[in-house]
Amino acid sequence: MFDLIREGGHELAMLCHDAESGLRAVIAIHDTTLGPALGGVRIAPYATDEDAVRDALRLAKAMTYKASLAGLNLGGGKSVIIADPARDKSEALLRSMGRYVQVLGGRYIPGVDSGTTQDDLRVLALEADRVSCVGADPSPFTAAGVHAAIHAAMRHLHGSPELTGRRVAVQGVGHVGAALAGLLARDGAELVLSDARMDLAEAVAGQLGARTVEPDQIAAVACDVFAPCALGGAIDDAVLGALDAAVVAGAANNVLAEPYHGVELHRRGVLYAPDYCANAGGIILLAEELLGHDAATAERRVRGIADTLDRIWRRSRVEDLPPESIADRMAEERISAIRRLGPPPVPQRGTY
């Protein structure tokens, strides 16, 4: 585990165990140069403990880059609870997790992730002083950010953000994917939807006048935009071979299964919106919430995702590098500049 921490440049990985509640968890903090680490609490039945550690470390690092690129004064963290959320989640489990979060004294601020809800975070907040996702639902803001990213891509490619008649293939219509599909339908886009739960895809399609395809067919749909909004690793070897889209922009985390998939998208001329930039709407809402700002302020900042992508794509074209390489560099440049100022002050409750 120490090798994994060193290789990723992480500050901390904490193993949490409580026999009474059944808690087995990992809290990972990647970097707090810009501020305390914000990141969700994921509950999943990992096959091995090592899988859980690797996932927490990987997701924490992604959160560092997401917060930096969004211009937030936050670092990156993540926590995972090794459990089945449908069977094992309990008040005792969540409160035990909250006590471990409290041990870190505000250095890590938990939020909603796969397997947790806002109600779950409210239970954590009974034990921990600093908890996010207890106000507005971040899902619509994440969808709004991806929506802005798709408009930015159309403007970058065609000189206009207009989506009327443009075909968008949305992979995954959960909370975020369904909200994104609704925004795109309002714009007049032609929608093709799919989900591992095809009954859900059919229901959303019926509401929006869209059509559906089976999950193994969605990446091959000839479209203007492929929007992966389900699990990570959406662009792998198989999908890359079938992909027939001009743009890849979605809400999923870790869209590229491997770095070389992004290089290949760039080589083929497919415009990629780096996932942690396109899907930053949720963390922007949480950052504004922590500062006591209202949803309208968050909405204005979410629209700024389009401007960030414009800068990424311009540099990508000039330097002939994949957009995700440019995004990484921009995030790292900001962190390095602030790190040179010296250690940050001790965070105070209610600020970041």
Catalytic machinery residues: 78
Structure tokens at 132: 């996010």
* Cβ-based neighbours of 308, under 8 Å, separated by 6 or more: 69, 70, 277
Spatial distance between the Cα atoms of 239 and 242, rounded to a whole number of angstroms:
5
φ, ψ for residue 245, nearest 5 deg: -135, 155
Spatial distance between the Cα atoms of 318 and 331, rounded to a whole number of angstroms:
18
- In the three-class reduction of DSSP (H, G, I as helix; E, B as strand; rest coil), residue 131 is classed as coil
Beta bridge partners of 76: 31, 38
**Are 39 and 78 contacting, i.e. CB atoms less than 8 angstroms apart?**
yes
Strands 245-248 vs 223-228: parallel, antiparallel or unpaired: parallel
Spatial distance between the Cα atoms of 240 and 238, rounded to a whole number of angstroms:
5
Spatial distance between the Cα atoms of 188 and 89, rounded to a whole number of angstroms:
41
Beta bridge partners of 256: 235
Shortest CA distance to 130 belongs to which of 346, 332, 352?
352
Spatial distance between the Cα atoms of 123 and 244, rounded to a whole number of angstroms:
45
* Cβ-based neighbours of 18, under 8 Å, separated by 6 or more: 96
Name the burial class of residue 5, with classes exposed (0-12), middle (13-18) and buried (19+) by CB atoms within 10 angstroms of its CB.
Answer: middle
**Are 132 and 290 contacting, i.e. CB atoms less than 8 angstroms apart?**
yes
Beta bridge partners of 75: 37
What amino acid occupies position 154?
A: M
